[in-house]
């Protein structure tokens, strides 16, 4: 990494450095739990269901519960609501309190991806509940998934427990996200903890919560909830146009019985941030701080698109309508997992159709009864209003008897390939040709590359059997060390200086940041001048931090072959 790149990445390097400092200083507290939902939007989803159940149980009274909350208004509201609690705390992302919580909590329970600088300590337990069964494709099933899914894949590989609501989602984890053959944690096939909230929520409490957060809701009218997902080619390149919401609301308001119905809109948490202050003040947009399943419990009719929320809503047996004005274009750039004729309700891209179906909502459930029940059977197979307790028993009591644990059973030799930056040229062409010659019936291959999105053509040409892991973030270390690393040149003396500066520990940690506890039978190093990637990849076959003497020998061997190692030369 040259000085220009260091300056460009300085904000990310600075955050990673602050995290690294707390990582070194803090011990893990076995009675602390860190929670985060939808990037700190509120107390929501699976982590909230776990928190609620635990705080209702006396045996967990001695635990401290720390929540990431980033919305200033919600932070203030929750501080007020939990002001009398002595064991519930709130922190904001990228603050000292956040770094302390993330590096000292024994249990980390989230429903999204943690920052790229996060490294799970060996004694920590990382639980990812995720946040929905996908209708839209995810992971490597998305056209540019090899790059866009890099953060999600990295997080999943780090988990000790990954929650799956059904067998369909388990297949997506193992195949669509390419965890099969490499995942070392446990897939808990149990249903979603958050769905328990559909059965245990009091309507009056939710109406009050909505009113307290500025929503114009009438407790005497039925609620139509419009809950679309985000648009765009990837999560970090989402469509920022919110005009669709106002247009949809205004049309329905003029064409349905508003004496009987009221319309609330719940944008995706990321999209809610894009709304203007005026839009948020109108009282029709449900803030991201309201739990989706608590809201669904008081919803009488759901209008959605490709959002996973409709799978949860099946448990209510209430009607669902799909508004899909961009169906054909969405299929091209994102894709869906099954034909929409299988959906448990009518779909259309025309607002007049949606209004017409709402006006005869009483007949929809019976009209689509067969599709509704068929989808409910496989999507909600394990939902019995007691999922949260089963998950808690598995994680905190080591009692897995009440849920199905899916353990990956790899039957192939595992190979890690350090591929360098994958820039166009002869070096990359050789790697591509070499990968095409591997017997994938016998070998599971993971390719590490430093690409950050600029060499998409080369990435698209990688053999489809290969699990590609693109660079995700920077190595957590001090800013001074990052600057010094930028001075390293592709020669033996510079690499020796890098070794003396960092020792092996920083690369062992970086390996765990990228691949967790994954271990490989074989490593092929084609990293070229990407020395840090090569030094990180060395730990692929190690179960613990290696001695500096052996590490130095490994570097010397790398230098003597100029990075052109073959599998046979470096079998671990």
Domain harbouring 266, CATH code: 3.40.50.12580
Cα–Cα distance for residue pair 548/533, rounded to 1 Å: 18
> What pLDDT digit, counting tens, does each position of 418-464 carry?
888 899 998 899 889 989 999 999 999 999 998 776 788 899 999 99
Element of type H or E holding 188: strand 186-189
Q: How many CA atoms lie within 13 A of 39 on its CB side?
A: 12
As a whole number, the mean pLDDT across the chain is: 86
Please check whether residues 155 and 39 belong to one and the same domain.
yes
Please check whether residues 370 and 229 belong to one and the same domain.
yes
Cα–Cα distance for residue pair 288/244, rounded to 1 Å: 18
Residue 5 lies in a domain: no
Cα–Cα distance for residue pair 398/394, rounded to 1 Å: 5
Instruction: Specify the pLDDT at position 237.
Output: 52
Cα–Cα distance for residue pair 291/111, rounded to 1 Å: 13
Instruction: Specify the pLDDT at position 522.
Output: 82
As a whole-number percent, the residues of the chain with pLDDT over 70 amount to 86
10 Å CB burial of residue 483 (0-12, 13-18, 19+) is: middle
For the chain, the maximum distance between any two Cα atoms, rounded to a whole number of angstroms, is 80
Cα–Cα distance for residue pair 480/484, rounded to 1 Å: 6
Please check whether residues 305 and 402 belong to one and the same domain.
no
Please check whether residues 307 and 417 belong to one and the same domain.
no
Cα–Cα distance for residue pair 134/169, rounded to 1 Å: 8
pTM of structure: 0.90
Please check whether residues 187 and 278 belong to one and the same domain.
no
pLDDT at residue 502 tops 60: no
> What pLDDT digit, counting tens, does each position of 550-563 carry?
445 544 554 454 44
- Domain holding 90, by residue range, is 14-196+388-406
Residue 300 lies in a domain: yes
- Contacts of residue 17, Cβ cutoff 8 Å, sequence gap at least 6: 476, 477, 478, 479, 482
Domain harbouring 59, CATH code: 3.40.50.11820
Grouping H, G, I as helix, E, B as strand and the rest as coil, residue 129 is: coil
Cα–Cα distance for residue pair 378/55, rounded to 1 Å: 31
Instruction: Specify the pLDDT at position 559.
Output: 47
SS (H, E, C) 20-59: HHHHHHCCCEEEEEEEECCCCCCCCHHHHHHHHHHHCCHH
Please check whether residues 247 and 356 belong to one and the same domain.
yes
Cα–Cα distance for residue pair 99/68, rounded to 1 Å: 11
Please check whether residues 206 and 143 belong to one and the same domain.
no
Grouping H, G, I as helix, E, B as strand and the rest as coil, residue 152 is: helix
Residue 4 lies in a domain: no
Cα–Cα distance for residue pair 208/446, rounded to 1 Å: 50
Residue 262 lies in a domain: yes
Buried b (16+ CB within 10 A) or exposed e, 395-417: bbeeeeeebeebeeeeeebbbbb
Do the beta carbons of residue 144 and residue 237 sit within 8 Å?
A: no
Domain count, the chain: 3
Instruction: Specify the pLDDT at position 408.
Output: 78
């Amino acid at each position: 990494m040259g000085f220009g790149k260091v300056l460009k990445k300085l904000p990310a390097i600075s955050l990673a450095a602050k995290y690294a400092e707390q990582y070194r200083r803090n011990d893990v507290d076995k009675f602390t739990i860190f929670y985060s939902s939808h990037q700190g939007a509120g107390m929501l989803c699976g982590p909230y269901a776990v928190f609620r159940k635990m705080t209702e149980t006396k045996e967990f009274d001695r635990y401290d519960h720390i929540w990431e909350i980033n919305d200033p208004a919600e932070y203030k509201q929750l501080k007020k609501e939990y002001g009398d609690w002595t064991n519930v705390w709130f922190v904001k992302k990228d603050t000292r309190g956040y770094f302390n919580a993330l590096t000292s909590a024994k249990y980390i329970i989230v429903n999204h991806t943690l920052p790229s600088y996060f490294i799970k300590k060996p004694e920590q337990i990382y639980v990812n509940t995720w946040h929905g069964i996908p209708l839209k494709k995810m992971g490597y099933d998305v056209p540019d998934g090899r790059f866009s899914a890099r953060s999600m894949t990295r997080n999943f590989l780090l988990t000790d427990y990954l929650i799956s609501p059904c067998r369909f989602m388990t297949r997506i984890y193992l195949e669509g996200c390419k965890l099969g053959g490499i995942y070392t944690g446990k897939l808990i096939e149990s249903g979603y903890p958050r769905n328990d909230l559909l059965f245990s929520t009091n309507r009056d409490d939710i109406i009050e919560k909505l009113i307290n957060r500025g929503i114009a809701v009438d407790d005497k009218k039925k609620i139509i909830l419009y809950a679309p997902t985000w648009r765009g080619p990837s999560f970090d390149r989402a469509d920022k146009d919110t005009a669709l919401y106002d247009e949809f609301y205004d049309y329905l308001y003029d064409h349905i019985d508003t004496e009987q119905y009221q319309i609330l809109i719940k944008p995706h948490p990321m999209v809610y941030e894009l709304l203007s202050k005026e839009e948020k003040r109108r009282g029709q947009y449900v803030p991201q701080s309201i739990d989706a399943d608590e809201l669904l419990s008081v919803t009488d009719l759901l209008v959605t698109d490709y959002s996973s929320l409709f799978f949860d809503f099946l448990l209510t047996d209430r009607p669902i309508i799909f508004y899909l004005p961009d169906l054909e274009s969405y299929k091209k750039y994102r894709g869906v997992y099954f034909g929409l004729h299988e959906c448990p309700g009518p779909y259309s891209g025309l607002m007049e159709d949606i209004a017409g179906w709402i006006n005869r909502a009483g007949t929809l459930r019976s009209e689509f009864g067969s599709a509704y029940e068929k989808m409910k059977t496989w999507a909600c197979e394990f939902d019995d209003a007691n999922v949260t307790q089963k998950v808690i028993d598995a994680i905190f009591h080591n009692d897995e008897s009440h849920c199905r644990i899916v353990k990956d059973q790899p039957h192939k030799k595992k190979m890690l390939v350090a591929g360098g930056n994958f820039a166009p040229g002869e070096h990359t062409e050789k790697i591509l040709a070499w990968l095409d010659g591997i017997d994938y019936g016998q070998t599971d291959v993971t390719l590490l590359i430093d690409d950050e999105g600029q060499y998409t053509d080369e990435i698209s040409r990688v053999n489809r059997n290969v699990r590609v892991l693109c660079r995700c973030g920077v190595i957590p270390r001090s800013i001074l060390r990052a600057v010094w690393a930028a001075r390293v040149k592709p020669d033996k003396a510079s690499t020796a200086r890098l070794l003396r500066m960092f020792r092996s520990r920083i690369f062992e940690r970086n390996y765990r940041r990228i691949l967790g506890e994954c271990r490989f039978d074989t490593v092929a190093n084609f990293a070229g001048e990407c020395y840090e990637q090569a030094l990180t990849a060395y730990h692929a076959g190690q179960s613990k931090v290696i001695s500096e003497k052996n590490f130095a020998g490994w570097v010397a061997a790398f230098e003597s072959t100029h990075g052109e190692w073959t599998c046979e030369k470096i079998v671990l």
